[in-house]
Structure 1
Amino acid sequence: MADTAVPQFFEQFPMQRVDSASLDAVLAEDAHPLNILFLWGRDCPNCDIAKRAMLLAAERFQWPQVRWLHDNVYDDPAMGTRFGLHGIPAFFVFAGARKLGRITSWPGAQAFVDAVEKQLNQLSIP
């Protein structure tokens, strides 16, 4: 289903769509050292805040070593159950299939970038 508040987000900020059935296979591809899974919902005000912030400075949120994945948990409640979500947006950071951590809610652009770059540095990924 389309996102109504930020309708062009996924065209302007490309992310690979996954669902609860495909996530493990996608993470196993090991195409990128780091994967960020963005769990969001249609008409979620906090998700829209995150999307708008990411579009305002898209270059700050794109690293060559990172592959972005996304899923609308309202359409795929099994994903929300799998990760024990209590709210969205939620971002999960993976090295391959290994979950490194989560960023819940939207901490703001700089805090988000700092958290991802910290993971990249800990993995010694240039």
Structure 2
Amino acid sequence: MADSSVPEFFERFPMPRIDSAGLDAELAVDDQRIVILFLWGRDCPNCDIAKRQILLTPERFQRRDVRWLHDNVYDDPIMATRFGLHGIPAFFLFHRGRKLGRITPWPGTDRFLEAVDRQVALTGAHA
């Protein structure tokens, strides 16, 4: 289902949707990039804040060393349970199938990107 509050988000910042059933296979892809799994919910005000801030400078988030995936946890509660979510948005970072950590709640653009930069440097992730 489309997001009604920021309906253009996934058109302006495209990323594949992944569900709980397909996540492990997607994370097993031999890829040198950091994978960011964006877990969000329809009509979630904090998710909308994150989406709007990403759309202000999408070029800062669309990086060659990062691959994005997303899932609406209201439509896929198994994903929320799997990651023990207590709030959204939540961003989980992975490298070569291993969970590196999570970013939640939305810390703002600069702090978010600093956290991603640290993980890229630590893992040597690249495109």
Band of TM-score, shorter chain: over 0.9
In structure 1, C-alpha distance between the alignment counterparts of 2:111 and 2:30, rounded to whole Å: 26
Most deviating of 27-36 and 39-48: 27-36
Q: Map of 1:1-126 to 2, 5 A cutoff?
A: 1-125=1-125
User: Residues 28-74 of structure 1: CA distance to partner in whole angstroms, max 9, x if unpaired?
Assistant: 11234210000000000000000000000001112101110000000
Percentage of identical aligned residues = 67
Unaligned runs of 5+ in 1: none
CA RMSD across the alignment: 1.0
| Alpha-carbon spacing, 1:15–1:32, altered in 2? closer, same or farther (3 Å) | farther
**SS in structure 1 opposite 2:4?**
coil
SS of structure 2 residue aligned to 1:88: coil
**Unpaired segments ≥5 residues, structure 2:** none
Number of corresponding residues? 126
SS at match of 2:74: coil
The residue identity in structure 2 corresponding to 1:57 is: T
CA contact (8 A) 1:32 1:67 kept: no
Partner amino acid, structure 2, of 1:28: A
CA offsets 1:65-85 (integer angstroms, 9 cap, x no match)? 111000000000000000000
